[in-house]
Structure 1
């Protein structure tokens, strides 16, 4: 089952800067 990840690029960019750990988890969830 794919994770329902719907974030725009701006949100992802901000998350990558503010919380790299969470960003990595989101990317991993999106790819799974």
Structure 2
């Protein structure tokens, strides 16, 4: 499983999350 480390206000984090949601890739979001 992919683990994404980022902050909810970061535009770079959102770019990665949008791509994962669109492709249906399972991931775990870790807020820092």
State the TM bucket, normalised to the shorter chain.
0.3 to 0.5
Q: Which structure has more strand as a fraction of its residues?
A: 2
TM-score by length of 1: 0.40
Greater radius of gyration (CA): 1
